[in-house]
Chains A and B, each alone.
Chain A
Amino acid sequence: MPQTPPQGQPDEAMVDLLIKQVTQGLSSAEQRELDVLDTETASAYLRDFERAAAAVTLAAGTNGHVLPPQLAQRIARQADEHFAALAGGTARGASVARLDDARAARADVGTQPAAGAAPRASRSGMYGWVAAAACLVLAVIGWTHTPTAPELPPVADLPPTTVLPPVPPAPPAPPTPAEERAALLAKSDSVKVTLGVTKDPAARGVSGDVVWDPATQKGFVHFVGLASNDPAVKQYQVWIFDVARDQRYPIDGGVFDVPAEANEVVIPFDASLPVTKAAAFAVTVEKAGGVVVSARQHVVALGATS
């Protein structure tokens, strides 16, 4: 016989609904179901669960993310309009308009592909990886705008003696991934790991390494001879084994591609979760977009830190 929870305590069904609301939201039917339950208890527990979920979110950190400056500017303009309109009594309309403007202007925010390659995919975690990883680690041990010039007045409008202000020089080209990798290698606290390759067909005749920066939580994978892939079908995915985590659950380092005829690639990557200390790195072949849990059928390379 099901037990009735004490007064003020939620039953299991209510807890399940509340947790679902906090993690993924409720359907209309589920919301109606929750609404008929003890509202006061539900509200109190919902608040607690929301706080708990928010705390877990905070614990994960920002992982190096920085609000894009153009987006920050749009938000600041939107705030100005919001508060100005509040004073005038039309905040909502103004804010919505600003959002629409922002959507139209979104092209500002770095939609150009990054130089080099590709990364970022999904998530951590791989059951049963341990065996494959351990064998491979052992093998590794024995074996990884141009800025627009200031607008100038028309020449005809210039007084005869005016000297045009100098056009600022174009900024230097951003460093290539290979240059960034070289710079990272020169840092004393960077970690370099030679990758051992497996018998996977994609890894035949391949050599590679990883250079990792524990401070910035970023790194580069470098391969020579890695087979090209069709990004619409499959992609390579980087995994980071953290000593502070169960080795069955490596951290996702993102996906990348090897273009046809690219004999050598240098791919920047970063960790989807904070890495306390990298123990090993692996590269697998996965479906396009990457996976949360690798079927570990195509481990291409693996290397352990010393």
Chain B
Amino acid sequence: MSSSVLQRIASGDSAAVRECIEQYGALIWSIARRLSRTPSDAEDATQEIFLDIWRSAARFDASQGSDKVFVAMIARRRLIDRLRKTSAEPPMDTMEALELVATGDQDTSSETSMEAEQATRALAELRPEQRQVLELGLLHGLSQSEIATRLNMPLGTVKSFMRRGLIKVRENMKIAAEGVSARI
């Protein structure tokens, strides 16, 4: 079985570093853009995330999930930490931010992975309001109280929607993982 790029980085394969940047650059940049207040924040965050990846690559365990999920988890941790330290306003893609976006000819939404498909299925089963709460929290970095304000929804309802939504995705992923284990 061929090693993932993360495993190759961990084993000291210098060529894997460039591959990693190429393979995950768009993913990390897109997450950073969504969860940063300014384009310059997103740039700093992206550099920090890659440093985290270099440092954490040896901890990647393919049996625990795909490399994409591992990278996205590292990115989210770093970005949430940055947001928490500077919390005052929610992140927002501003005009300036869009101007920084280097866009390709196609939507490179090729971040497909088994986990992403499971998440998509779980999201499809949620009520629109639940899905929106989850998207605002996870994709756009709004806090629960910010979501409550913006959607004119009680904070308790936001918490409940967030809890149910994330549990639903988690359960879908667990069921799928168990199915894979059973087949193996």
Residues of A participating in the B interface, judged by any CB pair closer than 8 Å: 15-16, 19-20, 22-26, 48-69, 71-72, 74-76, 78-80, 82-83, 95, 98-99, 102-103, 106, 109-114, 118-125, 127, 215-218, 245-246, 248-249, 254-257, 270, 272-274, 289-293
Contact = CB atoms under 8 A, between A and B. Distances in A.
A113 B39 CA distance: 13
Nearest to A87: B12
B166 A57 contact: no
A20 B117 CA distance: 24
24 contacts: A20-B144, A23-B144, A24-B83, A51-B73, A52-B169, A53-B73, A55-B116, A55-B169, A58-B116, A61-B111, A64-B103, A64-B108, A65-B33, A66-B108, A71-B29, A80-B17, A82-B54, A102-B44, A111-B99, A113-B96, A120-B93, A120-B95, A274-B109, A292-B136
A23 B106 contact: no
Interface in B147-184: 150-152, 159, 162-163, 166-167, 169-170, 173-174
Tell me whether chain B's interface is mostly helix, strand or loop, or mixed. Answer: helix
A119 B119 CA distance: 29
A193 to B, nearest CB: 20
A49 B21 CA distance: 26
A58 B173 CA distance: 13
A270 B93 contact: no
Nearest to B147: A292
Interface in B7-59: 12, 14, 17-18, 21-22, 25-31, 33, 39-40, 43-44, 46-48, 50-51, 54
B134 interface: yes
A45 B104 CA distance: 37
Contacts of A293: 150-152
Contacts of B101: 64-66, 120, 270
B129 to A, nearest CB: 9
Nearest to B33: A65
A25 B25 contact: no
A58 B47 contact: no
Interface of B: 12, 14, 17-18, 21-22, 25-31, 33, 39-40, 43-44, 46-48, 50-51, 54, 65, 68-70, 72-73, 75-77, 80-81, 83-84, 92-113, 115-120, 123, 128, 132, 134-144, 150-152, 159, 162-163, 166-167, 169-170, 173-174
Given A19-B162, A121-B94, A59 B81 contact: no
Nearest to B93: A120
A66 B166 contact: no
A125 B151 contact: yes
B134 A83 contact: no
Contacts of B83: 24-25
A60 B170 contact: no
Q: Sorted from nearest, which 7 A-B pairs have the closest CB atoms? A: A61-B109, A120-B98, A67-B25, A25-B84, A54-B72, A55-B119, A58-B116
B14 A83 contact: yes
A249 B144 CA distance: 18
Q: Which of B28, B29, B43, B73 lies at the interface centre, i.e. has the most chain A CB atoms within 10 A of its CB?
A: B43
Given A58-B113, A65-B101, A99-B44, A52 B119 contact: yes
B50 A78 contact: yes
Nearest to A214: B107
Contacts of A56: 119, 123, 134-135, 138-139, 169
B58 to A, nearest CB: 12
Given A62-B26, A62-B109, A72-B25, A54 B139 contact: no
Given A24-B141, A63-B30, A118 B95 contact: yes
Contacts of B141: 24
Contact of A65 (B26, B40, B51, B99): B26
B39 to A, nearest CB: 8
Given A68-B29, A76-B17, A83-B17, A57 B44 contact: no
